[in-house]
């Protein structure tokens, strides 16, 4: 029997979903060199280590504002294949934060490209394993 597709708006009050999610917690990424990736996420994106006392580096968790990445070592130590289906992680910031990120990336000589989606504006850059990292805002630039 095929599943019925519905949007959240079409769910009647009596059918409300009991699961109450607050936000995205983390994205798990397989990396070829955990210490290198920890340094990159700390130094380039300003993420902070979390749960290091409990978990050490398995996984190495870094976050900002309650969400972030969990870095897992690649079993064979080889680079992550470019056709890996999980190639993208996005972080939300303010308009001021996006402009500051662009200035910081330029100062570090880190190449990035920008996207304008009408309601969202983003910069994209690769992490050390080639995952695409997005920094995005939903705040328009001042006119």
pLDDT at residue 106, rounded to an integer = 94
Residue 99 has pLDDT above 50, yes or no: yes
Domain count, the chain: 1
Residue 9 falls inside a structural domain: no
Q: Which of 80, 72, 93 is nearest to 132 (CA)?
A: 80
Q: Residues 125, 105: contact at Cβ < 8 Å? A: yes
CATH of the domain at 124: 3.10.180.10
pLDDT at residue 112, rounded to an integer = 96
> Which tens digits make up the pLDDT trace of 66-77?
899 999 898 876
Q: Please provide the average confidence, as pLDDT, over all residues in the chain.
A: 84
pLDDT at residue 25, rounded to an integer = 85
Domain extent, residue 115, equals 19-80+88-137
CB neighbour list of residue 108: distance below 8 Å, 6 or more residues apart: 44
Q: Higher pLDDT residue, 129 or 43?
A: 43
pLDDT at residue 103, rounded to an integer = 93
Residue 13 falls inside a structural domain: no
* Rg, C-alpha atoms of the chain: 18
> Which tens digits make up the pLDDT trace of 19-64?
666 778 899 898 989 999 999 999 999 999 999 998 899 899 999 9
């Amino acid at each position: 029997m095929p599943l019925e597709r519905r949007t959240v708006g079409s769910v009647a009050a009596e059918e409300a979903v009991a699961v109450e999610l607050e936000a995205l917690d983390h994205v798990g990424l397989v990396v070829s060199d955990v210490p290198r990736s920890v340094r990159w996420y700390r130094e380039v994106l300003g993420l902070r280590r979390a749960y290091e006392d409990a978990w050490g580096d398995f996984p190495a968790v870094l976050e900002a504002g309650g969400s972030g990445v969990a870095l897992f070592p690649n079993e064979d130590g080889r680079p992550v294949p470019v056709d890996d289906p999980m190639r993208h992680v996005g972080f939300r910031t303010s308009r001021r934060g996006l402009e500051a990120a662009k200035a910081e990336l330029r100062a570090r000589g880190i190449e990035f490209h920008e996207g304008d989606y009408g309601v969202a504006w983003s910069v994209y850059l690769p992490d050390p394993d080639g995952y695409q990292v997005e920094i995005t805002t939903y705040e328009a630039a001042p006119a």
